[in-house]
Amino acid sequence: MAGDTALHLCDSEKGEKCVVLLHGYLESMLVWEEFIPLIYKSVRVVTVDLPGHGISEVKGAVHTMDYLADVVAAALSSLGIAKAYIVGHSMGGYVALALCERHAEVVEGLVLLHSTPNADSEEKRKNREREIAVVKSGKKELLAATAPSKGFAAENRGRCREYIEDLAEIIHMTEDEGIIALLGGMIERKDQNDMLRQLPAPQLFILGRKDEYITAEVAEAMTTAHPQATVAWMENSGHMSFIEEPHQCASALLKFIGC
């Protein structure tokens, strides 16, 4: 349990420095399976199924980023972890930002992995509302058919076909209520740019040149707005560099941590 939420997590338990990997929307901790071996000899690694995804509990109609951050903080406390480097992929980055705002004392460093401090645009909110309607209508398979492949750069989709199929299977296994709750939470989240500029912890942005969700233009604007952050560009990746360019992604992370 993390607070009053049944939370599925894994902990490598060994290492002076700790890295917490927070997965994205329509994912689970399983996405890190082949990335963890690239870093666990250098750092302690904790992964979780964020509530609403994987096999963690669904709690209510909306899972706000604040709620998810509180769950992660409670999990770290239960593990006796006082400080950690928080790595948030996509939606996991939104959770990481909320953790920085609400529990800054546990954040040794922040890594936004294909994520952004920006709130949803009106267009993005409408897209999420449409996704909620799709899931409520019993057509979740439409998300499974389209979302996983879009996360990868076009030229990587062939060689990453098995990963795409695995991501589609994760979506099929995810509870409809969990998807809806997390979409609602992302719609409600606020802009975190000012908070991020004032955050004393070191920051790293890992970005993909060929990301279709956070385009290079949007990413460049983000890096310009946050000169306090270190930036690592994954030149041949879309939104999933920890799968598309895992060694480069792991190298950037470990360099940032100082390992």
- For the stretch 126-181, pLDDT in tens is 999 999 999 999 999 999 999 999 999 999 999 999 999 999 999 999 999 999 99
- For the stretch 63-86, pLDDT in tens is 999 999 999 999 999 999 999 999
Class of domain 9-257: alpha beta
Average pLDDT on 112-116 reads 98
- H helix and E strand count, the chain: 10, 7
Helices 176-188 and 122-136, packing angle to 10 deg? 160
pLDDT band at 1 (very low <50, low <70, confident <90, very high): confident
The number of C-alpha atoms within 13 Å of 10 and in the hemisphere containing its C-beta is 17
- pTM over cut 0.95: yes
Q: Where are the domains of the chain?
A: 9-257
Average pLDDT on 187-204 reads 98
- What pLDDT does 2 receive? 83
Alpha helices in the chain (DSSP H): 65-78, 91-102, 122-136, 141-150, 161-173, 176-188, 193-198, 216-225, 241-244, 246-257
CA–CA gap between residue 211 and residue 23 (Å, rounded)? 17
Whether residue 44 has pLDDT greater than 90: yes
